[in-house]
Structure 1
Amino acid sequence: MNIELYTDVMLTRDIPAERLRLGDVVTLVDIVRHPSGGEDGAVVELFNAVGESIAVAIVPVSAVAPLRADQMPAVRPLQKAKV
Protein backbone atom coordinates (compact mmCIF):
# COMPACT_ATOMS: atom_id res chain seq x y z
CA MET A 1 0.00 0.00 0.00
CA ASN A 2 1.39 3.38 -0.99
CA ILE A 3 -0.55 5.75 1.24
CA GLU A 4 1.46 8.32 3.17
CA LEU A 5 1.24 7.99 6.94
CA TYR A 6 -0.78 10.61 8.86
CA THR A 7 -3.16 11.20 5.97
CA ASP A 8 -6.90 10.69 6.00
CA VAL A 9 -8.20 7.52 4.38
CA MET A 10 -11.61 5.92 4.06
CA LEU A 11 -12.77 2.52 5.19
CA THR A 12 -13.78 0.18 2.39
CA ARG A 13 -15.95 -2.02 4.62
CA ASP A 14 -17.67 -2.18 7.98
CA ILE A 15 -15.52 -3.14 10.99
CA PRO A 16 -18.24 -4.02 13.56
CA ALA A 17 -15.80 -4.89 16.36
CA GLU A 18 -14.51 -1.30 16.24
CA ARG A 19 -17.94 0.32 15.55
CA LEU A 20 -16.62 1.52 12.18
CA ARG A 21 -18.58 1.67 8.94
CA LEU A 22 -17.87 1.67 5.24
CA GLY A 23 -16.97 5.22 4.22
CA ASP A 24 -15.80 6.42 7.64
CA VAL A 25 -12.82 8.76 7.36
CA VAL A 26 -9.91 7.85 9.64
CA THR A 27 -6.23 8.85 9.86
CA LEU A 28 -3.60 6.28 8.86
CA VAL A 29 -1.00 6.18 11.64
CA ASP A 30 1.11 3.10 10.84
CA ILE A 31 1.29 -0.20 8.96
CA VAL A 32 2.12 -3.29 11.04
CA ARG A 33 3.08 -6.78 9.94
CA HIS A 34 0.84 -9.67 10.91
CA PRO A 35 2.70 -11.80 13.50
CA SER A 36 1.94 -15.09 11.75
CA GLY A 37 2.11 -14.05 8.11
CA GLY A 38 -1.51 -13.00 7.57
CA GLU A 39 -2.65 -9.72 6.11
CA ASP A 40 -0.80 -6.66 7.42
CA GLY A 41 -2.70 -4.22 9.62
CA ALA A 42 -3.36 -0.52 9.26
CA VAL A 43 -3.27 1.39 12.53
CA VAL A 44 -5.89 4.13 12.25
CA GLU A 45 -6.93 6.94 14.57
CA LEU A 46 -10.58 7.91 14.82
CA PHE A 47 -11.76 11.46 15.41
CA ASN A 48 -15.24 12.76 16.14
CA ALA A 49 -16.82 15.51 14.04
CA VAL A 50 -15.14 18.27 16.06
CA GLY A 51 -11.65 16.80 15.75
CA GLU A 52 -11.27 15.10 19.12
CA SER A 53 -9.38 11.81 19.07
CA ILE A 54 -11.72 9.07 20.29
CA ALA A 55 -9.93 5.79 19.51
CA VAL A 56 -7.10 3.96 17.79
CA ALA A 57 -7.82 0.70 15.96
CA ILE A 58 -6.02 -1.85 13.81
CA VAL A 59 -7.86 -2.89 10.66
CA PRO A 60 -6.72 -4.99 7.66
CA VAL A 61 -4.77 -2.91 5.13
CA SER A 62 -7.30 -3.98 2.50
CA ALA A 63 -9.97 -2.11 4.53
CA VAL A 64 -8.49 1.35 3.86
CA ALA A 65 -8.23 3.36 0.65
CA PRO A 66 -7.11 6.88 -0.26
CA LEU A 67 -9.72 9.61 -0.39
CA ARG A 68 -10.74 10.76 -3.88
CA ALA A 69 -11.89 14.12 -5.22
CA ASP A 70 -15.24 12.64 -6.27
CA GLN A 71 -16.16 11.70 -2.68
CA MET A 72 -18.06 13.78 -0.10
CA PRO A 73 -17.47 13.35 3.65
CA ALA A 74 -20.53 12.94 5.86
CA VAL A 75 -21.27 12.61 9.57
CA ARG A 76 -23.20 9.97 11.50
CA PRO A 77 -24.02 9.38 15.15
CA LEU A 78 -21.38 7.37 16.96
CA GLN A 79 -22.70 3.98 18.05
CA LYS A 80 -22.44 3.28 21.74
CA ALA A 81 -20.46 0.21 22.77
CA LYS A 82 -22.57 -2.79 23.70
CA VAL A 83 -22.29 -3.67 27.38
Structure 2
Amino acid sequence: MLELYQDIALTRDLPEHHLKIGDVATLIDYVHHPTDGEEGCVLEVFNATGDSIAVVAVPVSAVEALRADEILTVRSLEPVS
Protein backbone atom coordinates (compact mmCIF):
# COMPACT_ATOMS: atom_id res chain seq x y z
CA MET A 1 0.00 0.00 0.00
CA LEU A 2 1.26 3.46 -0.86
CA GLU A 3 2.03 5.81 2.02
CA LEU A 4 0.00 8.92 2.70
CA TYR A 5 1.52 12.21 1.51
CA GLN A 6 3.81 10.57 -1.02
CA ASP A 7 3.82 11.70 -4.62
CA ILE A 8 2.28 9.25 -7.08
CA ALA A 9 1.72 9.04 -10.84
CA LEU A 10 -1.62 8.47 -12.52
CA THR A 11 -1.94 5.24 -14.48
CA ARG A 12 -4.91 6.45 -16.54
CA ASP A 13 -6.32 9.62 -18.04
CA LEU A 14 -8.93 11.51 -16.01
CA PRO A 15 -10.47 13.72 -18.73
CA GLU A 16 -13.16 15.04 -16.39
CA HIS A 17 -10.34 16.65 -14.37
CA HIS A 18 -8.05 17.42 -17.37
CA LEU A 19 -5.43 15.02 -15.95
CA LYS A 20 -3.39 12.54 -17.97
CA ILE A 21 -1.42 9.34 -17.50
CA GLY A 22 1.86 10.17 -15.80
CA ASP A 23 0.64 13.34 -14.09
CA VAL A 24 2.01 13.58 -10.55
CA ALA A 25 -0.21 14.14 -7.51
CA THR A 26 0.04 13.70 -3.73
CA LEU A 27 -1.85 10.88 -2.01
CA ILE A 28 -3.73 12.49 0.88
CA ASP A 29 -6.23 9.83 1.99
CA TYR A 30 -7.78 6.43 1.39
CA VAL A 31 -11.55 5.94 1.11
CA HIS A 32 -13.71 2.84 1.16
CA HIS A 33 -16.10 2.19 -1.69
CA PRO A 34 -19.71 2.56 -0.47
CA THR A 35 -20.81 -0.75 -2.01
CA ASP A 36 -17.68 -2.86 -1.41
CA GLY A 37 -16.09 -2.05 -4.77
CA GLU A 38 -12.46 -1.12 -5.25
CA GLU A 39 -10.92 1.01 -2.53
CA GLY A 40 -10.25 4.58 -3.54
CA CYS A 41 -7.76 7.29 -2.76
CA VAL A 42 -7.93 11.05 -2.57
CA LEU A 43 -5.26 12.99 -4.45
CA GLU A 44 -4.22 16.61 -4.35
CA VAL A 45 -2.90 17.94 -7.65
CA PHE A 46 -0.50 20.87 -7.79
CA ASN A 47 0.62 23.04 -10.69
CA ALA A 48 4.30 23.50 -11.54
CA THR A 49 4.66 26.41 -9.09
CA GLY A 50 3.19 24.47 -6.16
CA ASP A 51 -0.36 25.86 -6.10
CA SER A 52 -3.11 23.34 -5.35
CA ILE A 53 -5.37 23.08 -8.41
CA ALA A 54 -7.55 20.03 -7.70
CA VAL A 55 -8.55 17.40 -5.18
CA VAL A 56 -9.86 14.22 -6.80
CA ALA A 57 -10.93 10.74 -5.72
CA VAL A 58 -9.83 7.82 -7.89
CA PRO A 59 -9.64 4.03 -7.58
CA VAL A 60 -6.39 2.76 -6.06
CA SER A 61 -5.64 1.05 -9.39
CA ALA A 62 -5.39 4.52 -11.01
CA VAL A 63 -2.16 5.38 -9.17
CA GLU A 64 1.34 4.00 -8.81
CA ALA A 65 4.49 4.91 -6.93
CA LEU A 66 7.08 7.05 -8.66
CA ARG A 67 10.16 5.14 -9.78
CA ALA A 68 13.83 6.11 -9.90
CA ASP A 69 13.95 5.47 -13.67
CA GLU A 70 11.33 8.17 -14.37
CA ILE A 71 11.76 11.91 -14.81
CA LEU A 72 9.25 14.70 -14.21
CA THR A 73 8.05 16.88 -17.07
CA VAL A 74 5.59 19.74 -17.48
CA ARG A 75 2.62 20.32 -19.77
CA SER A 76 -0.08 22.95 -20.04
CA LEU A 77 -3.36 22.26 -18.30
CA GLU A 78 -6.05 22.15 -20.95
CA PRO A 79 -8.70 24.83 -20.44
CA VAL A 80 -12.23 23.80 -19.52
CA SER A 81 -14.50 24.07 -22.57
Bin for the TM-score computed over the shorter chain = over 0.9
Post-superposition offset of 1:37: 1.1
1:76 aligns with 2:62: no
Runs of 4+ deviating beyond 4 Å: none
Percent pairwise identity = 56
Does the residue aligned with 2:61 lie in a helix, a strand or coil?
A: helix
Matched, 1:62 2:61: yes
How far residue 11 of structure 1 moved from its aligned partner, in angstroms, is 0.3
- Which residue number in structure 2 is paired with residue 51 of structure 1? 50
Tell me what 2:21 maps to. 22
The answer on 1:11 being equivalent to 2:7 is no
- How many residues align structurally? 81
Instruction: State the 1:46 CA deviation.
Output: 0.4
Other-structure match for 2:37 = 38
Q: Deviations over 1:31-55 (max 9, x none)?
A: 1000011111110000000000111
Structure 2: gaps of 5 or more residues: none
